Amino acid sequence: MPVTRYSKGAMLLHWLIAIAVIVNWRLAEAAEHVPHDQHLQVLGPHMATGILILVLSLIRLGWRFTHAQPPLGSHLPKWEVVLARVVHVVFYVAMIGLPLMGWIGTSMQDHPIDFFGWFTVPMLPIAKDDHGGHELLELHGTFGNIFIYLIGLHILGALKHHFWDKDGELWRMLPFGQPRQPEA
């Protein structure tokens, strides 16, 4: 029988990363609204969550290369297939690139990352450059905002498939419901 949904491991990683990204976005937003002297207290969990997202994303990428993925529905128009593939590539780039940018920027500013009080993530061997680190972290924030908009579009696309098209595509990433059976 053909694979109609993602594996349980892929689902778990998808939803863990999704929750972590949303939490991290909210932490970054919260940091914008606290006094400057409390900024690093709020950003500490943001940086730790970023490292967690990086690790989970690398695991997810490895999982994707070693486990079968359900094929995209043959009922989908070509533009949706292309868009789905592009969005997935952009998501992987963002889920790995954004945490790396943050880690590089904090390393340039000589700020170690405390991983939720368990251990300190070593700084990358990069020359100290406060201004360059600041600029990189500003770019990290801009790309982070773009990533959030793309996530919003991804959610809208999933809702479109579920409520408008009623094609069962949403169930491919959930352990319940009925994905559409591939046409023979």
What is the bridge-based pairing of β-strands 113-115 and 119-121?
antiparallel
Candidates 47, 63, 52; CA nearest to 8 is 63
Q: Which residue has the higher pLDDT, 175 or 109?
A: 109
pLDDT exceeds cutoff 90 at 176: no
pLDDT exceeds cutoff 60 at 113: yes
Average pLDDT, integer, range 167-183? 79
Neighbours of 131 (CB within 10 A): 9
Q: What is the pLDDT of residue 41?
A: 86
pLDDT tens figures, 118-140: 999 999 999 999 999 999 999 99
Write the burial class of residue 148 (CB in 10 Å: 0-12 exposed, 13-18 middle, 19+ buried).
Answer: middle
Alpha-carbon distance of 46 to 67, in angstroms, equals 30
- Written as six digits, the tokens of 42 are 């709020």
Average pLDDT, integer, range 105-127? 95
Mean pLDDT of the chain: 92
Which stretches within the chain are classed as H helix? 8-31, 39-66, 78-108, 130-159
pLDDT exceeds cutoff 80 at 183: no
pLDDT exceeds cutoff 80 at 3: no
Domain boundaries, the chain: 8-173
Q: What angle do CA 90, 93, 98 make, to 5 degrees?
A: 120
Answer left, alpha or beta for residue 177, where phi above 0 means left and psi between -120 and 50 means alpha: left
CB 20 within 8 A of CB 49: yes
Longest dimension (CA), the chain: 62
DSSP string, 86-102: HHHHHHHHHHHHHHHHH
